[in-house]
Amino acid sequence: MLARRNARWGGFVAAIAVVAVCLFYLGTRFDWREPLRVVRDADLLALAGATFAVHFAYICVRTLRWQLVVRDRHPAATFGTLYWITAIVVSLAILTPGQIGETAKVELLKRRGLGGRLAGLGSFALERVLDILTIAGFGLIGLAFGTGLSDRYPQLPAVAAVLFVAGLVVLYALGHSRTGSSTDGWLAVLRSGTGTSAIKVRMLALTIASWCLIGLGWQISLRMVGIDVSLPAVCWLVSLITLSTLVSLMPGGIGLADVVTIQALLAMGASPTAAQAGALILRVYALIGIAFGLCHLLAWPLVPRALRGQES
């Protein structure tokens, strides 16, 4: 218990140190007056409208993906119930370290009598593995076509390939049990929430579609500040920044994700001012997504119980 507590505090201190170093670097290395002016001059109202539309489509696709695996065991799970949970939890998960707050949907599902906690965690693990496979694949695509960063950092393709292979290994482990294992009892329950092979294939297709929607949202945001990036470059950028956000122990990857964004855009040929404006506009994009979740959270008490699901 003491060792676990010390490890938790050690991780917290390390995260604070990384944030402090990154913010110090950002504050001393760059002049932010011109990038702030570029963002202020952008059509933020149009950005908000486009982002809300893209984010709504993204949430719908994520809901459909979740519904596939939940309805495999609980046919009563409706799109409406899962949509409201997804819209709130997924949109606000960026406020938690490594977006771990997304696990809250497992508890919300359990309270509606749509599965046990362990099976729900199995479904969540499957979703996260499919996400890792997709962003690792995006990274490989982006590094192979159009970014040029693999010449500057030759280790990046190997990192993306390792993540991709690791995701495949975990995906295989979630679907296959070893006979005679002492942990077969709880593992069987965990795997029961991961669906059939056909369901996994359909979920993978929806996962790719959802991340393409994120790429579209980022592409729109960057163009608002004059950064015109190709689709492979956006794929790579989504992959790199998402991974840096996930490994960061701070909400939204604050500090680290911003440094990575600026350095990535610089490597893609953007000017320092444009790279800084790009980092800022992607933060605006994230804030609009959070606002989307807050709007659903505020509207939650007004939603009919038949639509949001009855708590058990």
Confidence (pTM): 0.85
Residue 26 structure tokens: 């950002």
Quote the tokens at residue 109: 């599902």
From 106, 87, 127, select the one nearest 307 (Cα to Cα). Answer: 87
Question: Are 53 and 84 in contact, with CB atoms under 8 Å apart?
Answer: no
Angle, CA of 113, 186 and 193, to the nearest 5°: 45
Tens digit of pLDDT for each residue in 259-272? Answer: 889 988 888 888 99
The DSSP output letter for 178 is -
Is 109 or 294 the better-scoring residue by pLDDT? 294
Residues with Cβ within 8 Å of 87's Cβ and at least 6 positions away in sequence, in order, are 59, 63, 292, 293, 296
pLDDT, tens digit, 9 for 90 and up, residues 142-186: 666 555 555 655 666 666 677 667 767 766 666 665 444 444 566
Note whether 290 and 94 are within 8 A (CB): yes
Considering only 82-86, 158-162, 223-227, which range has the smallest mean pLDDT?
Answer: 158-162
- How far is 283 from 254, CA to CA, in rounded Å? 10
Helix-then-strand count for the chain, H and E: 14, 0
For residues 65-71, give the mean pLDDT: 88
30 and 271 Cβ atoms separated by less than 8 Å: no
Dihedral of the alpha carbons of 290, 296, 297, 302, in degrees to the nearest 10: 170
